[in-house]
Structure 1
Amino acid sequence: MILLVPANPLRPRQPDEHFAAEAHAARAAGLDVAVVDHDALVRGGDARRAVASVSGSDTAMYRGWMLRSEQYAGLADALAERGVVLRTDGAQYRRAHELPGWYAALASLTPLSVWTRGCERADFDRARVELGAGPAVLRDYSKSMKHYWDEAAFIPDLDDGAAAWSVARRFLELRDDDFVGGLVLRRFERFASTEVRTWWLDGACVLTGPHPDSPYDPAPVEVDLTPIASSVEGLGLPFVTVDLALREDGVWRVVELGDGQVSDRPTTIAPQTMIEILLAQAR
């Protein structure tokens, strides 16, 4: 298997510093490592140029910065022209990367959600009314702005249309060109723990650890994956992460599902551990 990582913008033949440790661990484990020009892929839209340094005829796994679904599809197509097949295809990436792709399978395990196509006020208001009065959390298909909680994420009451739209407008300002798909409203639930990140290969959980935003905060109790295991397996996705948090009533809830290739590794998990996971998938 080939491990693909973003290139260092200043040293194009070297891995980006953020992924250098995983690249080094991969080489030590006997994997081929190749770099992808992330800027060419994202800003220039030139997927063929982005993979110009990739050679060989093998299955590949990407470990890098988040990509829009159409950018990932372009990456997959450009690699296929060179005889390299991504383990996760474009359709699978979209299902994992965008909430509408995975929500139905996990609806009973995650906060009630509704969404729009695009970002028009009228569509937002229809979604707001559909979800009903009460607090909600706003995001788009792929990301929230939780670090701007009070101004661009949390809506205290969806019945207050003007205040809700003010949060949505600020969210759109902050996301700008990175906005994906539509506006998603998720029913607010109170959690009693920090988030836990779980890693899944072909529907089986292979690693449980902290979320990258809180790498030194252990889960308060052992995570019970039994209620979600069959649902995650049913998605049929090769490599995903599922972020969980313990609700106040003691029930573990799915906060997010994402493609594992673009899910960050918490600093407390060794890069060698991540590579061992990828090798297990390759087998």
Structure 2
Amino acid sequence: MTPRSGWTVGASRTDFDQARLALGNGPAVIRDYVKSMKHYWSEAAFIASVEDGDAAWQVASRFRQLRDDDFVGGFVLREFEQFTAAEVRTWWVHGRCVLVGPHPDTPHDHPSEGIDLGWLAPLIDALGLPFVTADLALRADGVWRVIEVGDGQVSDRPVSIDPAMLIAAAFDEAR
């Protein structure tokens, strides 16, 4: 459900190169186990070509430098895919989607109505978590992709979503 990915345990160049080479060729994006540095896109998020080891390592090193003590786990590299719209954040309580809205980074880009989440519901439910957020993006060919899944510890709410609406939806589902 996500773009093809590879990851490391830790931040060594050797492990990074192994994950990078496993992707094959083409562009990629990088993050750690928790966060990306997408606001530093050209210097610490986007790798133009995984075949260029030194240039890729330069992006990874800058990412690591910016994350500093907040770096978690290791590097996660994902094959770059072209998306056609802003990300959508979904909120799930006990495996059921209770709210679909914009991503906090684009709070006024509300998603279109009627997104079919039937394909995602069993996967979220299988996590066995009481609360989950899942960020989605629509690929250029019309396929929805999972960008990130979280248990709510670092999941923000866009300013355009009234907190009472989210709390009410979660509370109603939890009953």
Scaled to the shorter chain, the TM-score interval is: over 0.9
Contact 1:210/1:217, CA 8 A, preserved across alignment: yes
> How much does 1:219 deviate?
1.9
1:141 and 2:30 are equivalent in the alignment:
no
1:245 and 2:118 are equivalent in the alignment:
no
C-alpha separation between the residues in 2 aligned to 1:229 and 1:117? 29
Write out per-residue CA displacement over residues 144-187 of structure 1, whole angstroms, 9 at most, x where no aligned residue.
00000000000011000000000000000000000000011011
C-alpha separation between the residues in 1 aligned to 2:47 and 2:137? 20
Contact 1:240/1:261, CA 8 A, preserved across alignment: no
Q: Which structure features the higher share of helix residues?
A: 1
1:111 and 2:14 are equivalent in the alignment:
no
Aligned to 1:173: 65
Structure 2 matches for 1:37-56, cutoff 5 A? none
SS at match of 1:227: coil
C-alpha separation between the residues in 2 aligned to 1:249 and 1:131? 21
- By relative contact order (CA 8 Å, sep 6+), the higher-ranking structure is 2
C-alpha separation between the residues in 1 aligned to 2:32 and 2:131? 22
Whose Rg is larger?
1
Segment of structure 1 superposing worse, 220-229 or 143-152: 220-229
> For structure 1, which runs of at least 5 residues remain unmatched after alignment?
1-108
Aligned to 2:154: 262
Structure 2 matches for 1:187-202, cutoff 5 A? 187-202=79-94
> For structure 2, which runs of at least 5 residues remain unmatched after alignment?
none
Write out per-residue CA displacement over residues 64-102 of structure 1, whole angstroms, 9 at most, x where no aligned residue.
xxxxxxxxxxxxxxxxxxxxxxxxxxxxxxxxxxxxxxx
C-alpha separation between the residues in 2 aligned to 1:158 and 1:168? 11
C-alpha separation between the residues in 2 aligned to 1:249 and 1:122? 35
Aligned to 2:17: 125
Partner amino acid, structure 2, of 1:208: V
Contact 1:244/1:255, CA 8 A, preserved across alignment: yes
C-alpha separation between the residues in 2 aligned to 1:132 and 1:221? 37
1:217 and 2:120 are equivalent in the alignment:
no
User: What is the number of residues matched between the two proteins?
Assistant: 175
> How much does 1:220 deviate?
4.3
Aligned to 1:13: none
Aligned to 1:59: none
Contact 2:99/2:166, CA 8 A, preserved across alignment: no
Contact 2:27/2:50, CA 8 A, preserved across alignment: yes
Partner amino acid, structure 2, of 1:140: D
Tell me the TM-score normalized by structure 1. Answer: 0.60
> How much does 1:261 deviate?
4.3
Tell me the TM-score normalized by structure 2. Answer: 0.95
> How much does 1:281 deviate?
4.9
C-alpha separation between the residues in 2 aligned to 1:222 and 1:163? 41
Give aligned-pair identity as a percent: 63
C-alpha separation between the residues in 2 aligned to 1:217 and 1:282? 28
